[in-house]
Amino acid sequence: MKRALGFAYLALLVLGLIHTLSPRLEAQNRIRNSSNQLRDGACFYVDADYRGDSFCMNAGEDLRNLGKGFNDKISSIRVFGRAHVIVYEHEDFGGASGTFTGDVSNLRDWKDKITAIQVRYDRIGFSGSGNEPQNGACFYVDADYRGNSFCMNAGENLRKLEDRFNDKISSIRVFGRAQVIVYEHENFGGASRTFADDVSNPQDWKDKITAIQVQYGRIGFSGSGNEPQNGACFYVDADYRGEKFCVNSDESQQNLGERYNDRISSIRIFGRAEVTVYDDENFNGSRRTFRQDVPNLRDLRDWNDRITSFQVTGGQYGGQYAGQYGARASGYEPRNRACFYLDADHRGDSFCMNAGENLRNVEDRFNDKISSIRMFGRAQVIVYEHENFGGASRTLAGDVSNLGNFNNKITSIEVR
């Protein structure tokens, strides 16, 4: 009994240390020198006039507790780009608060009182000609694009509007290839509606908007020559037909919206991009990565009409893509990945996987046909005899030119 109580006490002590140290470590991990300031964010200094130890935060980041290194020691703040800062007297954003939209060389009343911080985007005043985003949207308090406003770039979200805009939006302007999803409640809850064009007066949605997502929406990229150099196009019908939209590499959508959600049937991939699709919003649920055109998603374990969110990455690897998952030509293999080959000595058709990815079933083209594996960076591979990581398994931490007893027996894979 005493031993059990001792273990319980030790566990509580460890948890307490983690709770105490993690905020401090979080703040210390953000320490940057003066030559590495942020485009949109803020830096916090122990001494006035932006001197002494400091740390920086991007717009959109929070610190619930500054830890012993900086708690109640901040004396000056520098604000960069379109950010603004909210400081709090107590941890977890409690107690008195203050908002700063520009540099403060001496905090005076707030000197050595800050315990928690939120850094937010500040787009108020983006209403003048030429200041609107190239791909994004602006939101106005009054109809016909008048009154106080703020703007967002495509790919940005707001889980809850500040008090001066919450339930007060009366008109929306959409720029470039963006589309807007507005929500009735915070955290993207309640009723929602998608706008792809300007709305001078949203009528039923007037003064009801609490949360916003601004996404890329490239409807109409159907003409020859309009596809991205590195990116992907998504089609409602198989064989690259029907309505479609295209995105460049390094773009994503957390929710396809009513027009495309659970309706994608084929995908074309351009240049050196790769596409990861998810069956739930916000990049959740089952996922699948493609590095080659997919004329019919129904052929790939029934991904037809299942896609809700996606990420398009890549452009840094060269070579021709061959094989179901995209073979890489020699010299272009990634840093932490593994590549799987049909033939011994790393020859024949192949595909590659990032560390952290897995395949429950490698599909007919490679199932029970893999003969050699190459490992890059610090990756290691676990291969299984059966689907869903079942049956005999083998862990590999280096190149294997001939799998020997596991030759032509691999059905599922984990890369770590």
**Tell me: the pLDDT tens digits for 28-55?**
444 333 334 456 788 899 998 888 888 8
Q: What are the two backbone dihedrals, phi and then psi, of residue 339, each rounded to the nearest 5 degrees? A: -120, 140
Residues 246, 272 within the same domain: yes
Q: Which of 191, 216, 241 finishes a domain? A: 216
* Residue 243 in tokens: 């309505």
Q: Could you tell me if residue 330 is inside a domain? A: no
Q: How many domains does the chain have?
A: 4
Each residue's pLDDT expressed in tens, for the chain with a length of 416 residues: 545 555 555 555 555 554 444 444 444 444 333 334 456 788 899 998 888 888 888 877 888 899 888 999 999 998 877 678 889 999 988 888 888 877 888 898 898 999 999 887 654 434 333 457 777 888 989 888 888 888 888 777 888 888 889 999 999 988 876 788 899 998 888 888 888 778 888 778 888 999 998 876 543 343 334 567 778 888 888 888 888 888 877 777 888 877 788 999 999 888 778 888 998 888 888 888 888 788 888 877 678 889 998 888 875 333 323 333 333 333 333 457 788 888 887 777 778 888 888 888 887 888 999 999 988 767 889 999 999 899 998 888 778 888 988 999 999 999 88
What are the Cα distances from residue 198, in Å, to 8, 181, 202, 247? Answer: 60, 13, 10, 21
Q: Could you tell me if residue 257 is inside a domain? A: yes
- CA-to-CA distance for 86 and 60, rounded, in angstroms? 11
Q: Could you tell me if residue 31 is inside a domain? A: yes
CATH number of the domain encompassing residue 86 = 2.60.20.10
Residues 241, 284 within the same domain: yes
Residues 117, 141 within the same domain: no
Q: Which residues contact 250 (CB under 8 A, 6 or more apart)?
A: 312, 313, 315
pLDDT confidence of residue 75: 94
**In the chain, how long is the greatest CA-to-CA distance?**
76
* Residue 308 in tokens: 């809700």
pLDDT confidence of residue 50: 86
Q: Could you tell me if residue 30 is inside a domain? A: yes
Question: In the block, which residue shows the tokens 């083209």?
Answer: 365
Q: DSSP characters for 333-379?
A: --SSEEEEEEETTTEEEEEEEETT-EES---TTTTTT--EEEEETT-
Residues 112, 153 within the same domain: no
Q: Could you tell me if residue 200 is inside a domain? A: yes
Distance of CA 408 to the CA centre of its chain: 37
Contact (CB, 8 A) for 396 and 381: yes
- CA-to-CA distance for 341 and 365, rounded, in angstroms? 11
Residues 116, 24 within the same domain: yes
Residues 102, 44 within the same domain: yes
Q: What are the two backbone dihedrals, phi and then psi, of residue 92, each rounded to the nearest 5 degrees? A: 60, 30
The domain containing residue 146 runs over which residues?
Answer: 136-216
Contact (CB, 8 A) for 412 and 389: yes
Q: Could you tell me if residue 130 is inside a domain? A: no
Residues 25, 117 within the same domain: yes
The helix/strand/coil state of 329 is coil
Residues 107, 154 within the same domain: no
Q: DSSP characters for 153-179?
A: ETT-EESS--TTTTTT--EEEEETTEE
Q: Could you tell me if residue 49 is inside a domain? A: yes
Residues 76, 166 within the same domain: no
Residues 58, 24 within the same domain: yes
Contact (CB, 8 A) for 254 and 282: yes
- CA-to-CA distance for 157 and 310, rounded, in angstroms? 16
* Residue 89 in tokens: 């007297």
- CA-to-CA distance for 234 and 227, rounded, in angstroms? 11
The helix/strand/coil state of 110 is helix
Q: Which of 58, 88, 121 finishes a domain? A: 121
- CA-to-CA distance for 76 and 106, rounded, in angstroms? 5
- CA-to-CA distance for 251 and 179, rounded, in angstroms? 14
- CA-to-CA distance for 100 and 86, rounded, in angstroms? 6
How many helices, marked H, and strands, marked E, lie in the chain? 2, 28
- CA-to-CA distance for 127 and 151, rounded, in angstroms? 8
- CA-to-CA distance for 162 and 62, rounded, in angstroms? 16
Residues 207, 266 within the same domain: no
Q: Could you tell me if residue 9 is inside a domain? A: no
- CA-to-CA distance for 27 and 58, rounded, in angstroms? 12
Residues 41, 109 within the same domain: yes
Q: Which of 216, 244, 260 finishes a domain? A: 216
Q: What is the pLDDT of residues 74-91, one digit of tens each?
A: 999 988 776 788 899 999
* Residue 176 in tokens: 């470039």
Contact (CB, 8 A) for 341 and 372: yes
Contact (CB, 8 A) for 205 and 182: yes
